[in-house]
Structure formats: C-alpha cells, structure tokens
Amino acid sequence: MSVQSSARTPSIVKVALTASAGATIEWYDFFLYGTAAALIFPKLFFPSDIAPFVAQMAAFSTFAVGFVARPFGGALFGHFGDVFGRKRALVTALVLMGAATAAIGLLPSYATAGGLAPILLVLLRFAQGLAVGGQWGGAALMAIENAPPNRQGFYGSFVQIGVPLGVLLANVIFLVIGAQMAPAAFQAWGWRIPFLLSLILVGVGLYVQFNLEESLEFEAAEARHAAAEIPPKPKSPILSVLASHPSEIFLAGGAFVANNTCFYVAITYVVAYGTATLHLTKTLMLGAVMVGSVVMTPVLIACGWISDHWGRRPLFMAGAALTGLWAFAFFPLIETGAPSLVVLSVSAELVLLSLMYGPQAALFAELFPVEVRYSGASLGYQLGSVVGGGLAPIIATALFAHFKSSRAIAVYLAAMCVISLVSTMALSLRARRAAQAAA
C-alpha cells in the first residue's frame, strides 16, 4: 500500500488531527451511552417495579444494539466510501451520529411515555451503531491513505486515540455536570445535557466537508480507472471483497475480538460492577477509567510508531497474549477497593490493549486493495465489535450472576484473547506465504 503521486500535497498533520477530532467526538457519543447505560438508563427507561439486575441487563442490551448495527454501518458506508470517496462517507457518518445522540437527549422517560421510551432508545442506539460502523473506516483511511508509506501506522494511530479521548470526554462531562446539580435533578434532566452537546459533531462534519480533500490513494485509483490502466471498479465493493477476501475479513474480526471485549469490560461493565456489587463510589470507578484513558492515549501513538519500524503483527500478538494474562489480575486488584490499585488495574488493561489497537488501523488497511479497502477494513472491524464489545457487558453480568465470582469473567476475557492471538497468527502466515509467492 503506497501513496501515489499527486499534483496536490495535503497536510497529513491537518488530516490526521481533523480525523482524530472527529473520531474523538464520535466515540464520545458512543461511549456516553455506555456510561448512561450503567448509571442512568436502568432507572429511567424501564419499569420501576422490575428487579435492579433485570433493569441493568435491559440497559446493557440496548447498549449492545449499537454493536449489532455496526456491521450494517460498515457495509453501508463501506460501499459508498469505496464508490464515491472516503470523505463523503465520513461526513455522513459524523452528521448521523451527532443527530442521533442529540435525539437521545430529548427522549421521554418510561414514566412519561411507557413502552415507547425504550423502543425509541433502541432505534436511536441502532442509528448510533450505523454511524460509528461507517466512521472508523472513513477516518482511518483519510489519515492512512494520505500518509507516507513508512508512517502509516503512526498517523493511523491518531484516529485510534479518538477512543480513549472519547471515553475521557464522556466521563469528564458526565461527572462535571453531575457535580453541579442535585442527584435528583441530574437523574431527571441533567443527564440530557451531555447528549445534546453532541450536536458539535455536526459542525465537525461540515468542517471536513469544506476543508479536507479526498485521500490521495483513492484519487490515484480513480485516475487509473479513468485511464483504463486497471480493471473497472466493482459495482458492489461489499460483494466483491466478500468474494475475494473472505478470510481476511473474518480473521480481522477475530483479531479485534479481544481488544473490543476487554475494552468494554474495562470501561463499561467495571463501572457497574464496582458501584453496584463492590459498593465503590461512582467517582472512583469513572476516575479510574479516565486516568486509564489519559495513559492510553500516548501509548497508542507510540505503538503506531513502533509498528512502522518493527511490524504490526508481532506487536498485535504480544498485546493479545499479555492482555489475556492480565485478565486474572484485573478483577482481584479492583476487588481490593484500594483506589490506587483500582486505577492501576484499569490503566494497565488499557495500556496492554494499546499494543493491539495502536497498529490496528494500518494493519487492517493493508489487508485489502484500495478499491474495496473501506468495505473490507470496516467489515472486519465491526464483525469483531459485535462478538466482542456488544455482548461483553451482558456476558460479564450473566457470568457473575451465575458463578458469583469474577474469575469466570477473567476466563472469558482470556478466551477472547486466545481467539485474537490465533487470528493474528493466521494473518501473519497468510502474509508470509503471499510474500514468498510474489518473490
């Protein structure tokens, strides 16, 4: 994968920072829902006479709907991104996310609208999933396809830092607004403010539309197609990539399973577990997630840089193995209740995950040719997110309810890490064979 020559020379720093800003606010919207699902939605959008466990499971189920929608978003936006360009697809995804999240902030509660309230919540969460399913591929490819070939891991990591920055932003705003008003007022209407703030994302989308050019690699491919130097573009990039690169898509999804599963347990389930089961304070649990997110941000960039120099797959495999081992220390440290150990547990988890997530954008982009890259990379990413993050809080909650021990959750996390390790090893073997065949 290389950037072709072009008459224009875009500022890769500007592109990377803009993509990072868009990704940050997009993930802020997505993660804001997770925090609310752990702390607010069980009481607000479901009947007051059901058991707290049932309400929590119902809230986490609506959280999972966003992950179910993500592959559909990846397919939809992947098609348009490969046919009409990365920028158009990215802008549409940003605007959709901003509008859907703001609409959640306007929803009536169960006490006001009855069963209509959770139905509308599910529909808007599905829209969020569609948007984030399309956003990642557009933002990542805008950065990677404008970057020099030997720095694509580094600049691709700027899109990846949108995840911890989005987590940090969501939790900071949630805590700050919650601290400024009485708990009853925050439960009644104050929680809506962070959701309404997501309208800023619409402004970011408009900025991208009017201030950034299309990616160099996409434009170069378009020029080659116009000159008939290469075969015509597929009419359906989704069908084309499924037919030509099915193994890469499913192995990419498998590689992402551990990262997504462990991440959402660390930032979403653990907040509910710490507050409801261990009776630790909300401030401590959200604070631990925030500190971990701050630590994770520069580590992601460093891992992207390292992958440019020493390879993406070895770093990725090391992250899967170490994260699997850390799963057995993660919960015991939190269960001590000591603030320093709670922070250490979450921070170490996010640092180890960075070994996988930092080089991931460049790794997935390299698996597919430019004509179907948006579709292929997005599908692989989002398939992994369904199996991983979408079900993780539900599975973790159910495992603890059945076994009455967090060790069962640790085994679950370690198993997901084994899947990612094996998938990445398979990708490495395929790449080695392809290189030998081309030699």
Does 5 fall in a domain? Answer: no
- 37 — pLDDT class (breaks 50, 70, 90): confident
Q: Is the pLDDT of residue 438 over 70?
A: no
Residue showing tokens 């930032």:
267
pLDDT at 3: 45
Quick one: average pLDDT of 203-217? 83
Residue 235, φ and ψ in degrees, nearest 5: -70, -30
Does 6 fall in a domain? Answer: no
Distances (CA, A) of 232 to 226, 237, 317, 432: 9, 12, 37, 29
Instruction: Give the least confident one: 2-6, 171-175, 259-263.
Output: 2-6
Q: Residue 274 sits in which domain range?
A: 12-438
pLDDT at 335: 96
Total domain count, the chain: 1
Q: Is the pLDDT of residue 4 over 70?
A: no
Q: Is the pLDDT of residue 212 over 90?
A: no
Q: Is the sign of the CA dihedral 115, 116, 119, 124 positive or negative?
A: negative
- 265 — pLDDT class (breaks 50, 70, 90): very high
CATH of the domain at 181: 1.20.1250.20
Distances (CA, A) of 1 to 96, 115, 314, 367, 368: 30, 51, 19, 9, 9
Does 4 fall in a domain? Answer: no
pLDDT at 9: 54
Does 317 fall in a domain? Answer: yes
CB of 43 closer than 8 Å to CB of 186: no
The share of the chain scoring above pLDDT 90, in percent, equals: 50
The helices-and-strands tally (H runs, E runs) of the chain is 22, 0
Q: Find which of 208-217, 267-276, 337-346 is predicted with most confidence, using mean pLDDT.
A: 337-346
